[in-house]
Amino acid sequence: MKKTDIGVVGFMYGVCILFYVLSLDLKPEAQTYPHFIMLVLAILTTMYVVQMIFQAKRNGVTSGLEAFEGFLPKQFFVVLAMIIGYLVLMYLVGFYISTVLLMVACLLFLRVPTWQIIISTLAILGLIYGAFTLFLGVKLPVGLLFK
C-alpha cells in the first residue's frame, strides 16, 4: 500500500460529497442519475480502501513518493506560477505580449542560450499568427487594458 493512495481515496470521497451536496438543489428526477454515479464511485473507492488494507497487511506500507523521484520543487513551482501568471497577464494585456513575456521568462529561467530564446519565441509567435490568426481567423485575446 502507498501512503499517497490515502490522498487519492480522500479526493474521491471529497468529490462524491461535493457533488452530493450540490445535487440537493436539483429536482428529484434530475438527482437520480448523478446519485447513481456517486454511489458507483463511492463503492469503487471503498473497494480500493479494502484492497489497500489487505495490501498493507501483506506487503507493508510504502510512502508512494517514488513517483516524485527527481522532483525539483523550485523549478516546478516557478514554472507553474509562470503559467498561471501567463493566464492572468493574457487576460490583462492580451495574448501576444503575455506570450512573449512567458517565453522569454521561462526560457531564461531554464537557462536556455539567448539565441535559442529569440528563435523559439519568434517561431512560436509566427506559428500561432500563421495558423490561428491568418488560417483559422481566431481573434486572440487583446486584453482588458487594450479593449
**How many residues belong to the chain?**
147
1 binds other proteins (CB under 8 A): no
First to last CA, the chain: 54
CB 64 within 8 A of CB 112: no
Estimate to the nearest angstrom the gap between the alpha carbon of 70 and the chain centroid.
20
97 binds other proteins (CB under 8 A): no
CB 53 within 8 A of CB 106: no
Contacts with other proteins in 112-131 (CB under 8 A)?
Answer: 112, 116, 120, 124, 128, 131
Contacts with other proteins in 14-33 (CB under 8 A)?
Answer: 15-16, 19, 22-23, 26-27, 29-30, 33
Among 45, 56, 85, 142, binds other proteins (CB under 8 A): 45
Long-range contacts of 106-115 (CB under 8 A, 24+ apart): 106/79, 106/82, 109/78, 109/79, 109/82, 110/75, 110/79
Q: Which residues bind other proteins (CB under 8 A)?
A: 4-5, 7-8, 12, 15-16, 19, 22-23, 26-27, 29-30, 33-34, 37-38, 40-41, 44-45, 47-48, 51, 64, 67-68, 70-72, 75-76, 79-80, 82-84, 86-87, 90-91, 95, 99, 102-103, 106-107, 110-112, 116, 120, 124, 128, 131-132, 135-141
